[in-house]
Chain A
């Protein structure tokens, strides 16, 4: 086992442990903190794949911003520890959905023709990412911004309330 592999397995273990923590923690704030751990683990995987830019974006957006907002919402509500598993009549449906998702993922992994081993990782520079993002993939990029814009305006309308309050 090369040291890259060793590092990868350590990172993967941390990421998966974080993911498990999210669903098994008794306290929702702990779940959110485990989520941060897991997302940062993903950023570390990106570093190993020689995509530093993606890794930094992952840390900036998920580590420092999105999860904070989740934590924020939970801190302002009174969080209590959950005593046992939370269960309901939807349990079989949830199990089915999970099984279907797992099946799809496994199938996708099996059906994909993997390129196999490469001698060296392809380093994509930030210039190339920028070029491609704003030329070839400009349309999806713009649509994504439009969706965010709609969400932003929607939240402002909701938060502002009725005129003349």
Chain B
């Protein structure tokens, strides 16, 4: 199952980390091109076309530009905080990458607590946004930093708790074991509610549209990143894209059966790679599609969605799981209960969204400002 790249344990770990460290930036360069192309097509534009065939080398050109650009730092910025912030954003992302297995034998480290480790380490990035926001000594950056802190902390809770629902079902926190349990049916079939919550909360953790409130150009002109330029700015970009890949990979691992479903556990390696690539790309394209089509939420709507809709429904999913597991009800009850709850949540979100234009014209005596009910 595990094979060593080198006979020495330390050398092996170093090699694996080097592979992650080299593959990730290359992937990011490719993804920036994919993103611009996909969004361009969705908006009936061509996207980048000039550099290389179909603009394929655009990402490389951008990288060279960013690397050679002057590194500007505002005079009044708090130097150590300003300069360290980008690392605090990027390093946790790389640390999280270590825990994600891509196939049954392509991974850096198979941890018994992999799922938990991933979620905990990714939460450290918030510190970086808050540091960048405060350290830049800029009103917009500060506002963006505060928004980032509020949003990422809030959405972390449904994200982690929906992963807890999966951990309950699989009785494990190891991503490897969780995938191996899905050789018959992927967990999405048993946990549609947790899946929907995970995707929404994951999208919010990536602070991409419609949840790009911390970095919204038209409101806070780029938020925490406003004063950064050149290579430091590109670190923000890198953090964002790597997180995009990682959240997509995690979703395909814990909900869609990773490298196993819909085939058997002893797939050939190439098939495993194809399966993971297809599933992960599907999530990435879905997130890009959302970015191009859904308008940005207001900050109060964002908070209401998290605390008043997602969080109670996540608890509901955990209670359903608890009941089914303790009383050993048949598996299909999970599907039905969770599916019904997912439909209820969808209806509630739809009703709130339809009403949101007239949120402050209280329709009845009992309605409170900011409440979804």
Give the CA-CA distance A15 to B156 in the complex, in Å: 26
Give the CA-CA distance A72 to B112 in the complex, in Å: 34
B100 at the interface (CB under 8 A from A): no
For B85, give the chain A residue with the smallest CB separation.
A33
Closest 5 CB pairs of A and B: A64-B123, A60-B120, A56-B120, A59-B120, A75-B134
A126 at the interface (CB under 8 A from B): yes
With A59-B121, A65-B156 known, 8 other A-B pairs at CB within 8 A are: A29-B78, A40-B124, A65-B123, A69-B153, A71-B134, A72-B146, A75-B130, A75-B146
21 inter-chain pairs at a CB distance below 8 angstroms, sorted by A residue, are A29-B81, A29-B134, A30-B81, A33-B131, A52-B112, A59-B124, A60-B160, A63-B120, A63-B124, A64-B126, A64-B156, A68-B130, A71-B149, A72-B130, A72-B146, A72-B149, A75-B142, A75-B145, A75-B146, A126-B112, A126-B113
Distance in Å from the Cβ of A67 to the closest Cβ of chain B? Answer: 7
Give the CA-CA distance A63 to B160 in the complex, in Å: 15
Q: Is the CB of A33 within 8 A of B113?
A: no
Query: Interface residues of A: mostly helix, strand, loop or mixed?
Result: helix
A53 at the interface (CB under 8 A from B): yes
Instruction: List chain B positions with a Cβ less than 8 A from chain A.
Output: 78, 80-81, 111-113, 116-117, 119-121, 123-124, 126-127, 130-131, 133-134, 142, 145-146, 149-150, 153, 156, 160, 173
Instruction: List chain A positions with a Cβ less than 8 A from chain B.
Output: 27, 29-30, 33, 36, 40, 52-53, 56-57, 59-60, 63-65, 67-69, 71-72, 75-76, 125-126
Distance in Å from the Cβ of B139 to the closest Cβ of chain A? Answer: 12
Distance in Å from the Cβ of B15 to the closest Cβ of chain A? Answer: 19
Query: Interface residues of B: mostly helix, strand, loop or mixed?
Result: helix
Question: Of B116, B145, B156, which contacts A56 at CB under 8 A?
Answer: B116
Q: Which of B126, B133, B142 gathers most chain A CB within 10 Å?
A: B126
